[in-house]
Amino acid sequence: MTLRHVLALSFIAAIFSSAQARAEALTVTDDTGATVTLAAPAKRVVSLAPHVTELLFAAGGGTRVVGAVSYSDYPPQAKSIPRVGDNKSLDLERIVAMKPDLIVVWRHGNAMRQIDRLRELHVPLFFSEPRRLNDIPVTIDKLGVLLGTSAQANKASDAFRHDIAGLRTRYSNRPPVSVFYQVWDDPLMTLNGTHIISEVIDLCGGHNVFTDLKPLVPTISTEAALAANPEAIVTATPGATSSEHTLPSLDAWRKWPTMKAVARNNLFGIDGDLINRPTPRLALGAATLCEDLEVARARRPL
């Protein structure tokens, strides 16, 4: 074989090897619309939000998570993961020392200044911001691709879709219940119709009385809530964050006994970890809300 033939064969092999490498690359689109590509499944992942940690475990990558932020407490194994700060302040030096090959960022929970510094690390970033119920299983599947654990991820995403479909079949056509979802009490805050929790309310056959307001989490007056006269008031009760944050009680509404929700004792609290986090556990929060609205229906005067 001549040198020319050897060089030609080497060139062809190089082209084939390069094409094969591109074919084996793992590529998904994150919640900013950016393309995230890994040459091989991620082995060392840093999670920068509690919901992200849950999604990574659901996708089959729990053992790959080498760093996480405060309140990454579910599943229980997540409590032992080394901390790299919280959504307000990240320990960049510690993140670098962990040598991650993937960092999963909370799109609106991590400060832009911190995100800019993360970009300087030249480690692939996947931005997570599930806004609708279907975004949860889609994100699990995408993380499964990046982790090389698609079989487990698909199983978890299918289970969530099945649970949500079951609730929709059972409750979405029930007699509607008007709902005021209270996020905070001072100032008084609620959610508009584009929020994922409002979608859960719809799923349960409820109607968010402030669905048309702007922005996503609008501040309202007590008078506006009284004028809406909801049949049920719902809020999140303390979950994992209870040690540092006291979530509001609904008892203050009892001073207005003519409001439907108060008159019928339809003041409901749901574990904040189940209703606030866009993870598979939101199906449990949704089931609780659906049951609460069934109670409200049963309390209607004959």
Distances (CA, A) of 247 to 130, 133, 269: 23, 24, 10
Domain boundary among 95, 122, 157: 157
Whether the full predicted model's pTM is greater than 0.85, yes or no, is yes
Compute the chain's Rg from CA coordinates. 23
Q: Would you say 46 and 95 are in contact if contact means Cβ atoms under 8 Å apart?
A: yes
Specify if 102 maps to a domain.
yes
HSE-CB for 114 with a 13 A CA cutoff: 20
Does residue 184 share a domain with residue 148? no
Does residue 232 share a domain with residue 147? no
One pLDDT digit (tens) per residue for the chain, 302 residues: 554 443 344 444 444 333 433 447 999 999 999 999 999 999 999 999 999 999 999 999 999 999 999 999 999 999 999 999 987 889 999 999 999 999 999 977 777 888 888 999 999 999 999 999 999 999 999 999 999 999 999 999 999 999 999 999 999 999 999 999 999 999 999 999 999 999 999 999 999 999 999 999 999 999 999 999 999 999 999 864 444 444 457 999 999 999 999 999 999 999 999 999 999 999 999 999 999 999 999 999 98
Q: 3-class DSSP state for residue 293?
A: helix
Does residue 59 share a domain with residue 126? yes
Q: Alpha-carbon distance 174 to 205, whole Å? A: 5
**What total number of domains does the chain contain?**
2
Does residue 226 share a domain with residue 149? no
Specify if 166 maps to a domain.
no
Specify if 39 maps to a domain.
yes
Specify if 165 maps to a domain.
no
Does residue 114 share a domain with residue 63? yes
Does residue 149 share a domain with residue 38? yes
Does residue 141 share a domain with residue 53? yes
Domain boundary among 94, 129, 157: 157
What range defines the domain where residue 265 resides? 172-298
Can you give the CATH number for the domain in which 122 is found? 3.40.50.1980
Does residue 135 share a domain with residue 52? yes
pLDDT value of residue 240 = 47
Specify if 11 maps to a domain.
no
Domain boundary among 100, 131, 157: 157
Q: Alpha-carbon distance 143 to 28, whole Å? A: 8
Specify if 4 maps to a domain.
no
Does residue 255 share a domain with residue 145? no
Specify if 146 maps to a domain.
yes
Specify if 9 maps to a domain.
no
